[in-house]
Structure 1
Amino acid sequence: MDRALEEIEFLALSPNRIAVLNALRDAPATRRELEGETGASQPTLGRILRDFEDRNWIARMDEGYDVTATGRLVAAGFTDLREIVETELTLRDVVPWLPTDEMDFDLLALRDATITVPSQTRPGAPVSRVTDTIRGADSVRIVSHAFNERSLETIHRGVNENGQRFDGVFSTTAIDALADDQSLGDLLCDLLEADRAAVRVVDGDVPHAVTIADDVLSLMVRDDDGVLQAALDTDDERVRAWGRDLHERYWDRARPLEASDLE
């Protein structure tokens, strides 16, 4: 086996080794302090520290141990690798349908994203997740190819009862679908008259379904047949900046929706 892979395996097979190396990366420590910080027993710590000294990853000091330059390098590299793998695991089931070609941020920004998928008992779980982020938000921005009944009702209530600010830009197909339903069309007409709501329509396709509710961005993920597969949400600023820019670009291209468009 490649020596580098052997060293990666050496670290990966023991959470205690990773914990000790990261602890010393943060600050020098005694064995007793390492025991309290990592939970490893003294015999285990003894073996780990000897192994690390043999590799020159740490150095013994008068009052404990400190990480060396190469030990710090290994700790940082392993942390980066772990974050990459954690991100891949988070996105593994939805990455085929993510608009990655248009995402101008590092995918590591999605490492802590929440993925909500439909189930037999909760087929509407993704929609419910996004609706929950909308409910109670002071400001909501949406750019989407769809405007579902639950989101419309939640936004209508938020704008008219709670002073919510709403700026939505939708495809013509999304607006046409609402206009075909009398009750939903009436709800949208009422929303257009609110001072704190503005709705625009894009004469063309909108391949995204992005909602920004205060500091949370939600992305509805659909497969090639248009079937909803998941909702992804995150409060990472890099992702939110991408979402704000996306909303602004479509907003500038769109025209204000008029009540006559719903007749």
Structure 2
Amino acid sequence: MLSDDGHDGAQYLAGSPVRVAVFRTLRQEPRRPTGLTEEVDATRTTVQRILGGFRERDWVVKRDAAYHVTPTGKRVHDAYERLLDEVERADRYGRFAAELERVNAGLPAEAIGAGELTVATDRNPLAVVDRLTELLREGHGTEIRTVSPVVVQPFNRAAAAALDAGSEVELVIDRDVLEESVADFEPATDRALEDEDATVYVSSESIEYGLFENDDVACVVAYDRENNPRCVLESTDPTVTEWVDDRFESFVDDARRLSTVVENA
């Protein structure tokens, strides 16, 4: 007797790539066993055994010598394909999602896959830095808003170039980044204080992930435990853009202007 909790059917289908191939082929249109054998490159015996398993579960019926997927079979097939898509998406976005969850960023699950992902690799460890720098360059003459838990020279140069090109730049950093900027990047700090198109906020809380906004593009940046940028998701999907906009405003609300911090120091 078949299990009534669905596990037997799921395990049966997932247990063989040939079963999945047969199911996909039948989902497209009814086939006879001979046609299936040619389509999925399996022996007739294997195909007949698989069709018997499908019939036992009422996923297919035989009519006029051909096998037809039933309405319930179609639902099972489509749900299984969606599961495969989700697993593939999890493989692609797993590191990004895990790093954001580790710091309790609160990114909506619907945002996963809603955009283009750039990932730093051993072969290209600066992929994320390069992409963010490129986005800063592309934003010349527009309003740019960003949150960053680190300060690196390529970002500073790209932000300065954006300001020179007429952009308005808003940046949120934390105290650790401020101290590093004052110590190692004094010209950038002076520019942030003196340029009326640059507004820098300093958060009293440690920042553990990054944000970037430019026109209708929003980015979320995931960092590892050593504060290395590992992944950046860029999107125009409202799920992402609205979340990024809300998080940016929240960071600003909990921060103080750089000029105020420097004066008090």
* 1:201 equivalent in structure 2: 202
* 2:242 equivalent in structure 1: 241
From 89, 92, 100, the equivalent of 2:91 is 89
Structure 1 residue 247, shift from structure 2 partner:
0.8
From 172, 177, 201, the equivalent of 1:174 is 177
Give the Cα separation in 1 of the matches to 2:111 and 2:254. 30
Structure 1 residue 249, shift from structure 2 partner:
0.5
Give the Cα separation in 2 of the matches to 1:23 and 1:199. 58
From 128, 133, 158, the equivalent of 1:154 is 158
Structure 1 range deviating more: 40-49 or 251-260: 40-49
Alignment of 1:20-99 (within 5 A): 21=23, 29-31=29-31, 40=40, 47=48, 52-59=54-61, 67-93=69-95, 97-99=99-101
2:222/2:230 contact within 8 Å kept: yes
Alignment of 1:222-261 (within 5 A): 222-223=224-225, 226-228=226-228, 230-235=230-235, 236-258=237-259, 261=262
Q: 1:132 and 2:134 equivalent?
A: yes
TM-score normalized by structure 2?
Answer: 0.70
* 2:222 equivalent in structure 1: 220
Give the Cα separation in 2 of the matches to 1:110 and 1:129. 18
Aligned length: 250
1:31/1:42 contact within 8 Å kept: no
Structure 1 residue 73, shift from structure 2 partner:
2.9
Structure 1 residue 261, shift from structure 2 partner:
3.1
**Alpha-carbon distance change, 158 to 15 in structure 1, aligned in 2, over 3 angstroms:** farther
1:116/1:129 contact within 8 Å kept: no
One-letter amino acid of the counterpart of residue 179, structure 2:
D
For structure 2, the 5+ residue unaligned runs are none
* 2:9 equivalent in structure 1: 7
One-letter amino acid of the counterpart of residue 231, structure 1:
C
Give the Cα separation in 1 of the matches to 2:116 and 2:12. 29
* 2:188 equivalent in structure 1: 184
2:9/2:57 contact within 8 Å kept: no
* 1:103 equivalent in structure 2: 106
One-letter amino acid of the counterpart of residue 7, structure 1:
G
For structure 1, the 5+ residue unaligned runs are none
TM-score normalized by structure 1?
Answer: 0.70
1:113/1:234 contact within 8 Å kept: yes
Structure 1 residue 171, shift from structure 2 partner:
1.4
Give the Cα separation in 2 of the matches to 1:71 and 1:11. 11
Structure 1 range deviating more: 13-22 or 231-240: 13-22
SS at the partner of 2:221?
Answer: strand
**Alpha-carbon distance change, 111 to 76 in structure 1, aligned in 2, over 3 angstroms:** farther
**The structure with more radius of gyration:** 2
Structure 1 residue 217, shift from structure 2 partner:
1.5
Structure 1 residue 40, shift from structure 2 partner:
4.2
From 132, 140, 144, the equivalent of 2:148 is 144
Give the Cα separation in 1 of the matches to 2:111 and 2:58. 31
Give the Cα separation in 2 of the matches to 1:240 and 1:81. 26
**Alpha-carbon distance change, 141 to 9 in structure 1, aligned in 2, over 3 angstroms:** same
Give the Cα separation in 2 of the matches to 1:86 and 1:74. 18
Structure 1 range deviating more: 227-236 or 247-256: 227-236
* Cα RMSD after superposing both structures: 4.1
**Alpha-carbon distance change, 153 to 23 in structure 1, aligned in 2, over 3 angstroms:** farther
CA-to-partner distance for each residue in 1:4-59, whole Å, 9 max, x for gaps? Answer: 5553344335556546645766xx63549xx8xxx646988975666544532234
Structure 1 residue 170, shift from structure 2 partner:
1.6
2:96/2:231 contact within 8 Å kept: no
